[in-house]
């Protein structure tokens, strides 16, 4: 099988595929036009979140049988175009779960203690200890919007910190042990901290917008390590300016990378990270191996 790897995949995974006799070409960072010229002979394309598999790519990929997304969200893949051609679309949702959950907890602490702002002020030579008084998370309520693999792991860690955890997920019939399952309005209005863990779909686009912010407690802290476009970023900027949202931490954005004039870049009460949820050595290793094992399971070793 000829495999085109378009985004970085851990070397262990590439070695596993090559060791099984498959031809693997890593051509990273291809521009859309260049990708169209490359894809024709490949049976499989492997991507992360950067490369977009559009209908034009699918049409140009004459031999394509499978697209693998190393990670969770698949909104960068035209699944409809793939389905029309009988092309399978796979992802590796389990591989980066712990990495993303730990980042969400880390960003919650960063919001609670204003760690990012403290660092910036120290770099400016300012010792503003009194202005940086934060909050403990113990005894506070964390609301989860989405309680899948990642949300459930966040809940376990939050409970270990002494937090009450409530969650909303329309696809769950019973709550995991670490949280209380309730409706969306109750999560929005009853949380001191909110963490977003839903996929990006037409139903979830801008679900955290002006109307949702209106229902939240004044001074709430928002963490989003899910997908860009779920939080309405201009509405968030207004909520941060008004103090409705005391602090926010965003790892994902509707358009990546951010443009220099993005409204969130002008605010002091927001922490911004460049989509690093899965960017741990452990997570990257698991993603690479998960990609390899899924392909070998599907097609077998070429040298069998």
Catalytic residue list: 227, 256, 275
Nearest to 66 by CA among 11, 121, 109, 5: 5
Residues 207, 224 contacting (CB under 8 angstroms): no
Residues, the chain: 304
Query: Which residues lie across from 144 on neighbouring strands?
Result: 167, 195
Alpha-carbon distance 292 to 300, whole Å? 11
Supply 261's token pair: 């004039």
Q: Take residue 153 and report the two structure tokens written for it.
A: 């792991």
Cα–Cα distance measured from residue 280 to residue 297, given in angstroms and rounded to the nearest whole number: 25
Q: 38, 40, 51: which is closest to 77 by C-alpha?
A: 51
141 CB-near residues (< 8 Å, 6+ apart): 163, 164, 165, 166, 190, 191, 192, 193
Burial class (CB in 10 A: 0-12, 13-18, 19+), 234: middle
Query: Which run of H or E residues covers position 12?
Result: helix 11-19
Q: Rounded to an integer, what distance in angstroms lies between the CA atom of residue 166 and that of residue 155?
A: 8
Tokens for 268, please give them.
């002091």
Is residue 12 exposed (0-12), middle (13-18) or buried (19+ Cβ within 10 Å)? middle
Other CB atoms closer than 10 Å to residue 130's CB: what's the count?
6
């Amino acid at each position: 099988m000829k495999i085109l790897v378009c985004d970085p995949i851990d070397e262990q995974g590439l070695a596993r595929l090559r060791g099984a006799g498959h031809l693997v070409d890593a051509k990273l960072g291809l521009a859309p036009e260049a990708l169209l010229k490359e894809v024709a002979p490949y049976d499989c394309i492997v991507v992360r979140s950067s490369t977009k598999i559009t209908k034009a790519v699918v049409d140009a990929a004459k031999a394509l049988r499978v697209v693998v997304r190393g990670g969770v969200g698949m909104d960068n893949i035209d699944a409809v175009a793939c389905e029309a051609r009988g092309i399978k679309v796979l992802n590796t949702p389990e591989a980066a779960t712990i990495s993303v959950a730990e980042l969400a907890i880390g960003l919650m602490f960063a919001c609670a203690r204003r760690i990012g702002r403290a660092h910036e002020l120290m770099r400016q030579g300012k010792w503003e200890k009194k202005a940086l008084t934060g909050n403990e998370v113990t005894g506070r309520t964390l609301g989860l919007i989405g309680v899948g693999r990642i949300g459930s792991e966040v809940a376990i860690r939050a409970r270990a910190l002494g937090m009450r955890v409530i969650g909303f997920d329309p696809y769950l019939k019973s709550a995991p042990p670490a949280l209380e399952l309730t409706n969306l309005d109750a999560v929005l209005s009853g949380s001191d901290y909110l963490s977003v863990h839903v996929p990006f779909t037409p139903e979830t686009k801008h679900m955290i917008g002006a109307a949702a912010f209106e229902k939240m407690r004044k001074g709430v802290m928002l963490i989003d390590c899910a997908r860009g476009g779920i939080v309405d970023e201009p509405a968030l900027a207004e909520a941060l300016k008004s103090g409705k949202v005391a602090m926010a931490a965003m790892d994902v954005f509707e358009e990546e990378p951010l443009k220099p004039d993005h409204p969130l870049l002008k605010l002091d009460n927001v922490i911004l990270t460049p989509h690093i949820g899965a960017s741990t050595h452990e997570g990257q290793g698991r993603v690479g191996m998960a990609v390899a094992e899924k392909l070998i399971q599907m097609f077998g070793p070429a040298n069998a």
